[in-house]
Amino acid sequence: MSMETTAWHQLHSVMNAQQERRAFDRSTLRRIGAFARPHRRRIAQFVLISVMTALLAVATPVLAGRVVNAIVSHGHQGTVVRLSLLIALIALAEAALGLLGRWLSATLGEGLILDLRTAVFDHVQRMPVAFFTRTRTGALVSRLNNDVIGAQRAFSNTLSGVVGNLVTLLLTLAVMLTLSWQITLLALALLPVFVVPARRMGSRMARLQREAANLNAAMGTRMTERFSAPGATLVKLFGRPDDESAEFSARARRVRDIGVRTAMAQSAFITALTLVSALALALVYGLGGWFALRGTLQPGSIVSLALLLTRLYAPLTSLAGARVEVMSALVSFERVFEVLDLKPLIEEKPDPRRVPDGPVTVEFENVRFGYPAADKVSLASLEEVATLDTRGGAEVLHGVTFRAEPGQTVALVGSSGAGKSTVAALLPRLYDVDAGAVRVGGVDVRDLSAASLRETLGMVTQDGHLFHDTVRANLLLARPEASEDELWGALHRARLDDLVRSLPDGLDTVVGERGYRLSGGERQRLTIARLLLARQRVVILDEATAHLDNTSEAVVQEALTEALEGRTAVVIAHRLSTVRTADAILVVESGRIVERGTHEELLAAGGRYAELYRTQFEQTGVSRTTPEPEAA
């Protein structure tokens, strides 16, 4: 390894490491050991290869010196040939070991990345919805990418570096001291000239790199928000294009300036260290030549010392930065473990039950619930705040009790924020109740397996979320084994088959981010088709037609009628005209059921439902004496 290469390595290590001094955390080390245990055989092979490579690296300069001595002393030609062949064989062995070591390093590092990413991904999937409503997606993705890769470097780079450099350093020092202890000590005296500038320059450049990373992250966030379909629409409607461009350009120019300063600082640093390299070699040749002329040192030893010099500085500087690299890797591991240590609020029991076969009842019994505080479901680092919001836990549902018999439709109506959607979220166990019980088929949802609950319950929300994928993929999410005929059957029942047939690629047409290539009504019908394909026995509709125009609502309502047929349903509706035929209507206000009955019974009672109904008709300009339209 040349002095220039060593300089770049040292500079890179300091720039990319955490600068604060940290203590080793034994619990973190134990957990790292648990992740490394399945790979222990490969780790042992990797360490052995590193030691063998270090041994060969020191052998070549020694043999080169012997070749020179043989030439100067007019030794036997066969000796020179044999030494040359041995050097060639060592070079071949080094190349082979280098490739083998790289393969072991890659398989070890990538295997660890696979284990960590899988562990984090599986753990995050078990987190409650409250976790995702608070966490910044970019921060969470960074844990799966940047921090996992940072942890992987501890095995693929730091481990081999420490072992290999330590062996190389000890062997190099031993050989150099036997050749000339005077030159060795003088060479070591130049080490601070090499290491100190790397430390200082590295710290300075690390600050520039962090600023550039923050600016790039800000630009990335801004682009992500502005380039999404809803974000682009918002900017076009309310944005100030000139101001947006100016703000983006200011950050981009700062990144450019940092890039120029970094490039010049790197060049100055490498130039200075190249000069140190030349001075070190001049020392070896000058002092070594003087010793050789006096007859106290062989010429070959000078060559060996010159070649060994780089093998002395390289491991010394690398080991000097090893603590920084280890601390950086530990920080990455800690950030990964921080996510893994966040306990999911909703846990499946060891021996969960299944929803009984046949028709299904839905029951809420004296349910009380309050949304959890941030410190129960999130991390400050994932929300990118200094401290978590400790508010939360205030009760929002107060003794909610109702029952939907098999095949019945129960509608929840009331003011915005009354708690209707909270009731809907408790049924599929997106949250757990604080008191009381939610039962499906007579079994508490906390006793059911997640798989059985998902097979039984289907939900259509007001935003009709779709993935940026094909129509087929979005449908198969409900039932991966569904056949082509079943897909078209579900689309037909959702009144969407004609539209899909008219698309350029039919079922294989990509719907766009969040389904934005489709209209609101089309998105809702596709989510209904997904529901129909799943064949779930209980349906939850949370404001499924809230944001649709009258024409789209009529078509979607027709599809919903198909979806609800023969199923137990809990329907949350803002437009009361869509729930007049429900078997029971519950009026929810301030987290309590204040009225219950059929449409006619509640109108006759003249209470809150009648007030809501009258207000909606006045807002739509329909006279109360006008006959009510039939429900779509």
Closest listed residue to residue 575, CA positions, set 607, 536, 602, 549: 549
> Is residue 144 within 8 Å of residue 114, measured between CB atoms?
no
C-alpha–C-alpha distance, residues 14 and 85, integer Å = 40
Q: pLDDT grade, residue 223 (50/70/90)?
A: confident
Q: Write out the two tokens for 351.
A: 């021996």
C-beta atoms surrounding 383 within 10 Å:
16
Q: List the one residue out of 469, 518, 473 whose CA is nearest residue 496.
A: 518
Cβ count within 10 A of residue 362: 24
User: Helix 77-125 crosses helix 322-340 at what angle (to 10 degrees)?
Assistant: 20
- Greatest mean pLDDT among 273-277, 495-499, 590-594, 622-626 lies in 590-594
pLDDT at position 376 = 73
Whether 374 and 388 have beta carbons less than 8 Å apart is answered as yes
Confidence of residue 290 (pLDDT cuts 50, 70, 90): confident
Instruction: Find the helix or strand (DSSP H, E) in which 584 lies.
Output: strand 584-589
Among the ranges given (15-24, 127-136, 330-339, 415-424), the one the predictor scored with the smallest mean pLDDT: 15-24
For 176-204, give the DSSP string: HHHH-HHHHHHHHHTHHHHHHHHHHHHHH
216-225, 431-440, 488-497, 620-629, range with the lowest pLDDT: 620-629
Sheet holding 568-572, edge to edge: 457-460, 538-542, 568-572, 409-413, 584-589, 592-597
With a CB cutoff of 8 Å and minimum separation 6, the contacts of 533 are: 475, 478, 479, 482, 486, 487, 490
399 vs 594: CA distance, rounded Å: 11
- pLDDT of 315-357, one tens digit each? 766 676 666 667 767 777 877 888 888 888 888 888 899 999 8
pLDDT, mean of residues 103-109: 82
Q: Which of 207, 217, 163 is nearest to 52 (CA)?
A: 163
Q: How many CB atoms lie within 10 A of CB 329?
A: 22
List strands edge to edge, sheet with 435-440.
395-404, 362-370, 435-440, 443-444
Is pTM beyond 0.85 here? no
Task: Find the range with the poorest average confidence among 60-64, 209-213, 363-367.
Answer: 209-213
Q: What is the DSSP letter of 575?
A: S
Instruction: Determine the pLDDT at residue 205.
Output: 67
Domains of the chain: residue spans and CATH? 3-202+291-340 (1.20.1560.10), 362-375+393-619 (3.40.50.300)
Compute the C-alpha angle 466/471/477, nearest 5°.
65
CA distance 369 to 609: 24
User: Rounded distance, CA 626 to CA 632, Å?
Assistant: 17
Rounded to the nearest angstrom, the gap between the alpha carbon of residue 134 and the centroid of all alpha carbons in its chain is 15
> How high is the mean pLDDT of the chain?
78
pLDDT tens for each residue of 458-512? 888 777 778 888 989 989 988 888 899 999 988 888 888 888 898 888 889 888 7
Tracing tokens 């949370």 back to the chain, one arrives at: 542
pLDDT at 80: 81
pLDDT the model gives residue 632: 29
Q: What is the per-residue pLDDT across 150-174, written as a single tens digit (0 to 9) for each? A: 777 666 666 667 777 788 888 888 8
